[in-house]
Chains A and B, each alone.
Chain A
Amino acid sequence: MTAGQPFNQPATSVFYVYLNSFPFLKLGYGAALSLILAFIILIFTITQMILTRRSQS
């Protein structure tokens, strides 16, 4: 939104992954961050699937 400038302003997780990977040239760090994000999304997905299945039965 504001290109994270000054950098203490909020950037969403995905944007932070991008910032680290490409402008800051820390691709490994960005990949690690994106895996953490993927794990969090996985937890939400599994929770939602369980809840959906329970409400269907």
Chain B
Amino acid sequence: MRRTRRRKLIGFLYVTPALLFVLAFTLYPFARMFWISLNDWSLITPPKYVGLDNFRRAFDDDQTWTSLRFTLKYTLMITPILMIGGYLVALLTAPNTRLRRVTRTILFVPVVIGLGASSLLWYWLFSARYGLVNRALEDLGIIDEPILWLGTDASLGNWAVIISVVWKVLGFGMILFVAAIQAIPTEVNEAATCRRRKQLAANDAGDVAAHDAHRPTRHARERDRLTARRSTSST
């Protein structure tokens, strides 16, 4: 009894640094933020306690709902692009050949560089007068006048942001999909290949119907197995 308590205490001592870290940098700031939200505070004047007034104002503020709607719209736009794009790129780069590994590395580099650096980079690329994007489009003859990407046209700016974020995050989704694809056991792939070969052979022979007729359907196999089990359990 005393020994187990001692062991528990030692275990607790081992996790103490991590606990302190969470306490100091997650729980305390969260509690403090809750307290700040109950105050009217402009950072330079002393805080004034106003209770839940801030929340009431937030729910009445149209801009709050506009920003939430815009967040939802942005998420719905970018998530399919990231998922489908990441999956397609993963299909291309999943097998471990030398060149594909290099390709994966190149696609993953944007994930590693800082968000601030990549934002500035794209800010310059999309610059109306000196940006490389406009320059490339002009040289290709797609546009005559430079486009004001990050100007007053909100949807254009939105697309510019989406392009830059896709460039930055696509590699992450790709790595996850590649890991999942590589985790598929080789037997599954072999079985699929065998089956496909058989099908092709049957096609060549010109009697797909005959081939399929000889192969019991999954449903029928399931039924046979269940009846077999029932007959054994009753005896």
By a beta-carbon cutoff of 8 Å, the part of chain A in contact with chain B is: 1-2, 6, 9-16, 22, 25-29, 31-37, 40
Residue B160 at the A interface, CB < 8 A?
Answer: yes
The reply to whether B54 and A25 form a contact with Cβ atoms under 8 Å apart is no
- Residue contact B158 to A10, C-beta cutoff 8 Å: yes
Q: Which B residues from 6 to 39 make CB contacts under 8 A with A? A: 33-34, 36-39
Please list the residues of chain B having a beta carbon within 8 angstroms of any beta carbon in chain A.
33-34, 36-44, 47, 50, 54-55, 57-58, 63-64, 66-68, 70-71, 74, 150-152, 154, 157-158, 160-161
Are B150 and A2 interface neighbours, CB within 8 A? yes
- A14 and chain B: residue at smallest CB distance: B71
Report the minimal beta-carbon distance from B151 to chain A, rounded to whole angstroms: 8
Main DSSP-derived SS at the B contact region: helix
Docked complex Cα distance between A9 and B161 (Å): 14
Q: Do the beta carbons of A10 and B64 come within 8 Å of each other?
A: no
Whether the Cβ atoms of A35 and B37 lie closer than 8 Å is: yes
Are B150 and A31 neighbours in the complex by a CB distance under 8 Å?
A: no
The binding surface of chain A is classed by DSSP as helix
Q: Say whether B41 contacts A1, CB under 8 Å.
A: no
Closest 6 CB pairs of A and B: A32-B54, A31-B37, A10-B70, A16-B67, A32-B37, A25-B42
Q: Which residues of A contact B58 (CB under 8 A)?
A: 29, 32-33, 36
Residues A28 and B157 in contact, CB atoms below 8 Å apart: no
Query: Hey, which chain B residues are within 8 Å of A2, CB to CB?
Result: 150-152, 154, 157
* Cβ–Cβ contact B67 & A9, under 8 A: no
Question: How near does chain A come to B116, taking the closest CB pair, in angstroms?
Answer: 14
Q: Return the contact of A28 from the options B54, B63, B64 (Cβ within 8 A).
A: B54
Residue of B nearest to A11 (CB): B67
Give the residues in chain A near B54, CB-CB below 8 Å. Answer: 28-29, 31-32
Which residues of chain B have C-beta atoms less than 8 A from A9's C-beta? 152, 154
